[in-house]
Structure 1
Amino acid sequence: MEHIQLIATCPMGLEALVAREVRDLGYTDVSVENGKVAFRSDLLGICRANLWLRTADRIVIKMGEFPATTFDELFEGTKALAWPDWIPELGTFPVNGRSHKSQLSSVPACQGIVKKAVVEKMKMRYQTDWFPENGPRYVIEVTLLNDIATLTLDTTGWSLHKRGYRKQATEAPLKETMAAAMVLLSRWRPGRPLHDPFCGSGTIPIEAAMIGWNLAPGLRRSFDAEAWDALPKALWDQAREEAYDLVRDDEPLELVGSDIDREAIGVALANAKGAGLAKEISFYEAPVARWKPEGDYGVLITNPPYGERIGTSDEVERVIRQLGSVYSGLDTWSAFVLSPSKQFEHYFGRTADKKRKLFNGRIECALLQYLGPLPPRRRDETDSSE
């Protein structure tokens, strides 16, 4: 299986970022569609993608794609695919489904047809009429869009945003994948201060620390495909060894999170400890009006209260105005703020240099980008470029 078609699924708006991450792993045959990034890989690529992709939701194998306007077409198209190459006789293979703008609109019926077709194909390989399904999980998904059926096999299990370090959460926490995306979309790098004055569970500074030290986000968790016969343990060991070799934990980090909620600070500290980064991030209790960032050429990255999820609209307006007031005195700082408020720039007191539409869960937001000056180039950077 040297040439496998993989798909990295992701929230709308992050496709280009996920594609960049995939290319950074060394995969060049990459295509982008709404909510997904497809790329050619080998078996080792399944391990690497799960360990390294910070902004994707999950990694699935594209088993096949074909027109399906009838249940017979869905059955025969599914049966023609190479399921036994992946799923062993004892494998557990539930079927999930989605349908949009397709004649086969009953998702439960489509799931049943796909399950039956996979069983029939498995019977041909294993010469048995019954499968106990008491082994490793191989989650199949059938997606119908405009009468085209796409069949995939999930390698990830729990969504990739579940890094394993966040044992506690505050109300309406920001997903780890979105926090990582905000950091990657900023121009932050180690050596520059990074502050989050609405840190909640501490996710943004924790993800920044992982990026700053080049820590693969999947190192502290397991994946469904680790139990698959088709993916030897040696490949997972190789991918993890590569990831540990690439850690840069000698980089100095200036990461700070603050929040008005004392309980949130406790949660953030516990999560940073769970990530092994408690000594690298400072957390303190304070309202945004008393936020006092230190240093030059810093980066503010934050996800303030929305009103739709936390707080009233008046409270949201007040904290945005306070944030804008503090930021107005930071001449060399950049700011990246995720907000659904159409009035954010008015309350903040400044028009964003750039805006990018993103979805925080189901809430349509904008990442408002205020681009301050870049820090002066260090002498070693200048010398190395000459």
Structure 2
Amino acid sequence: MEKLELIAPCHFGLEAVLKREIQDLGYEIINVEDGRVTFAGDASAICRANVFLRTAERVLLKVGSFKAVTFDELFERTKEIPWEKYIPEDGKFWVAKAASVKSKLFSPSDIQSIMKKAMVNRMKQHYHIDWFEENGASYPVRVFLMKDIVTVGIDTSGVSLHKRGYRQLSSKAPITETLAAALILLTPWKKDRIFIDPFCGSGTFPIEAAMIAANIAPGMNRSFTAEEWTNLIPRKLWYEAVDEANSLIDDDIEVDIQGYDIDGEVVKAARENAREAGVEHLIHFQERAVKDLRHPKKYGFIITNPPYGERLEEKSALPALYREFGESFKKLDSWSAYMITSYEETERYFGRKADKNRKIYNGMLKTYFYQFLGPKPPRRKKYPEI
């Protein structure tokens, strides 16, 4: 099969997690940049990356990269890309998104319209027609300019990969599924350790933890734009990827994953979402305030997304909330706590300085992933077999 270059965008600050995921799938990393990882693969890699990657926002098929500082240059270089190799005569094609950073060309709408004209121009010459019906499969193009270097990709995913298909109901400030999975994978949590989210909201952290524990691929119950690209990807490759995902599921496992929230309606929604994800039997949800957080066992993990107080009227409640959280955590002997928040007084009211801190952009919002580390559990003794 032909070698392709694929680009997987992700949250800024979490590139290393995505890189490891791609390597675990068996693909060669070409480049790691802010907010994206480029890797090599064949047509089956498009299917497997979409089905298996937990932390990528989407998967793009890279079709070109060039320098352009004028719109004429952008037009000519876009026209040089062999679009007919990717888009059939009846294909629906458009520049769905353009982003520009530190580049001479910075107007997204102008970039989009000029590139579309160049694509039409090229394909007119190849297909010898003046009008494209565009009534076939969709080929949305995404373009990114960084310091005048234009990178062009066709989006294979369609709806962003954080839309797993299980979250029918969400709370006020939900964390995306891809970000939740990436943050869990940043920690040393494993399925044999206790996991609690005391601000579980719509249940995203516990659900993603349960899917990781049961080895349920995040994309196996949704569709992707490139499923219609029968000119590039044989249908059987999609079936093979889903069959592989099915064969790897292990949901007969024993886990202790819990989600609490003070709002009973939100807890109901979280249960419904867990049912949709097929992991309801692996999670215990409960209506409970953070001041009532407790557990008899040692060496557990708290991974959570507490309220940030983005709305002014909620800001005044944050000191007491974070103080209660800190006091509950103090009583949990040997536990570790990880929280993502934009609240700048977190450490002050939590009552402890974080052992590690990582800046992560949640959309346009600058947040920090505070890590309060407990001791490692003692190694289990291995007895010789008799």
Work out whether the TM-score is over 0.5: yes
Kindly provide the amino acid, as one letter, of the partner of residue 299 in structure 1: F
Superposed displacement of residue 219, structure 1: 0.7
Q: Deviations over 1:227-273 (max 9, x none)?
A: 11211111111111111111122321111001011111011011001
Aligned pairs for 1:1-386 (under 5 A) are 2-95=2-95, 96-229=97-230, 230-309=232-311, 312-379=314-381
Superposed displacement of residue 124, structure 1: 2.8
Kindly provide the amino acid, as one letter, of the partner of residue 368 in structure 2: A
Q: C-alpha separation between the residues in 1 aligned to 2:378 and 2:246?
A: 31
Kept in 2: contact 1:173–1:200 (CA 8 A): yes
* Pair 1:44–1:208, CA change in 2 (3 A): same
Q: Which 10-residue stretch deviates more, 194-203 or 371-380?
A: 371-380
Kindly provide the amino acid, as one letter, of the partner of residue 4 in structure 2: I
After TM superposition, the score normalised by the length of structure 2 is 0.95
Superposed displacement of residue 101, structure 1: 2.4
Q: C-alpha separation between the residues in 2 aligned to 1:267 and 1:114?
A: 43
Q: C-alpha separation between the residues in 2 aligned to 1:160 and 1:269?
A: 22
Q: Which 10-residue stretch deviates more, 228-237 or 23-32?
A: 23-32
After TM superposition, the score normalised by the length of structure 1 is 0.95
* Pair 1:310–1:283, CA change in 2 (3 A): farther
* Pair 1:379–1:171, CA change in 2 (3 A): same
Kept in 1: contact 2:193–2:301 (CA 8 A): yes
SS at match of 2:281: coil
Kept in 2: contact 1:176–1:207 (CA 8 A): yes
Q: Deviations over 1:252-298 (max 9, x none)?
A: 11110010111110110110011011111111111111122342211
Superposed displacement of residue 348, structure 1: 0.7
Identity %: 49
Kindly provide the amino acid, as one letter, of the partner of residue 265 in structure 2: E
Q: C-alpha separation between the residues in 1 aligned to 2:60 and 2:296?
A: 43
Q: C-alpha separation between the residues in 2 aligned to 1:181 and 1:383?
A: 37
Q: Which 10-residue stretch deviates more, 194-203 or 131-140?
A: 131-140
Kept in 2: contact 1:56–1:177 (CA 8 A): yes
Unaligned runs of 5+ in 1: none
Q: C-alpha separation between the residues in 2 aligned to 1:316 and 1:101?
A: 37
Q: RMSD value over aligned CA atoms?
A: 1.6
Kindly provide the amino acid, as one letter, of the partner of residue 270 in structure 1: E
Kept in 2: contact 1:19–1:30 (CA 8 A): no
Superposed displacement of residue 188, structure 1: 1.1
SS at match of 2:183: helix
Superposed displacement of residue 309, structure 1: 4.7
Q: C-alpha separation between the residues in 2 aligned to 1:8 and 1:22?
A: 9
- Paired positions, count: 383
Kept in 2: contact 1:172–1:310 (CA 8 A): no
Q: C-alpha separation between the residues in 2 aligned to 1:102 and 1:174?
A: 31
Q: C-alpha separation between the residues in 2 aligned to 1:311 and 1:257?
A: 26
* Pair 1:220–1:204, CA change in 2 (3 A): same
SS at match of 1:93: strand
Superposed displacement of residue 379, structure 1: 4.4
Q: C-alpha separation between the residues in 2 aligned to 1:310 and 1:252?
A: 42
Q: Which 10-residue stretch deviates more, 146-155 or 101-110?
A: 101-110
Kindly provide the amino acid, as one letter, of the partner of residue 20 in structure 1: R
Superposed displacement of residue 310, structure 1: 8.4
Q: Which 10-residue stretch deviates more, 235-244 or 198-207?
A: 235-244
Q: Deviations over 1:89-109 (max 9, x none)?
A: 111112122223222233222
SS at match of 1:131: coil
Q: C-alpha separation between the residues in 1 aligned to 2:296 and 2:125?
A: 67
Q: C-alpha separation between the residues in 1 aligned to 2:41 and 2:115?
A: 26
Q: C-alpha separation between the residues in 1 aligned to 2:30 and 2:44?
A: 17
Q: C-alpha separation between the residues in 1 aligned to 2:263 and 2:166?
A: 21
Q: C-alpha separation between the residues in 1 aligned to 2:121 and 2:244?
A: 40
Kindly provide the amino acid, as one letter, of the partner of residue 373 in structure 1: P
Unaligned runs of 5+ in 2: none
SS at match of 1:58: coil
Superposed displacement of residue 21, structure 1: 0.8
Q: C-alpha separation between the residues in 2 aligned to 1:377 and 1:124?
A: 68
Kept in 1: contact 2:294–2:332 (CA 8 A): no
